[in-house]
Amino acid sequence: MQTTSRTPRKRTGPKPSFDKQDVIHEALKLGLDRFTMSEIANRLGVATSALYRICSTKTLLDFCLEQAAEHFPFSPTGDWHHLVRDYARNTWLICENYPGIENILLTNPRSHRHFKKHLAALVSALITEGFSADEARNIVELVSTITVSIHLAARAYRLAEERVSPVDPVKGVYPESFPLPAHEREESWSHLNDKIDLIIDGLSARRAAAA
């Protein structure tokens, strides 16, 4: 009787292990508005189906936003000038530290619920400073929208430069005098700071006129 020889199976080694934080970490590296489950799976060396045992795309985005909210450094102290500036600065820092979050905040209404505690604290602090509830909410909305919008524009420009570097993506398209949005980090922050100054000056003039 002839025996059939079998080719020994290759040892594949231990199965790769990962947890929720590993998935979040990879999503953050890819960008909250750019990650895909398949790309995260490739980076972790696992099947895409394995990720869904931990979370879906929607819940992963929520996990990332929860982490961002936990690290939001805003503290509602100081006068209203300081409150507005501090909130803008720390919103900017969150956008810097969590790439893509600005796009999510502008396009996904559900995303704001993760920052509800911080927004409510700022509104309450502004009311204590003499603003009405409606005024306080409008100030928070205005500062939030301007901050994330400027950061989104700056990030989009930087990404465009990375894709076509070293060629300037808009060189020759606009006249030299055209006011293109700032895109270097320092320039972008200065660009935002000028607008925050205008908001504060306008609010100060309005309060003085009403006094």
For residue 210, what pLDDT band results from cuts at 50, 70 and 90? confident
pLDDT at 163: 62
The tens digit of pLDDT for each residue in 66-94 reads 999 999 987 888 999 999 999 999 999 99
Residue 52 near residue 122 (C-beta atoms within 8 A): no
In Å, how far are 13, 15, 22, 47, 54 from 44, measured between CA atoms? Answer: 15, 11, 8, 9, 14
**Single pTM value for the model:** 0.78
Rounded mean pLDDT of the chain?
Answer: 84
> Where is average pLDDT lowest: 100-109, 155-164, 177-186?
177-186
Residue ranges of the chain assigned to CATH 1.10.357: 72-209
Mean pLDDT value across residues 145-150: 94
Mean pLDDT value across residues 148-169: 71
Q: What is the CATH number of domain 72-209?
A: 1.10.357
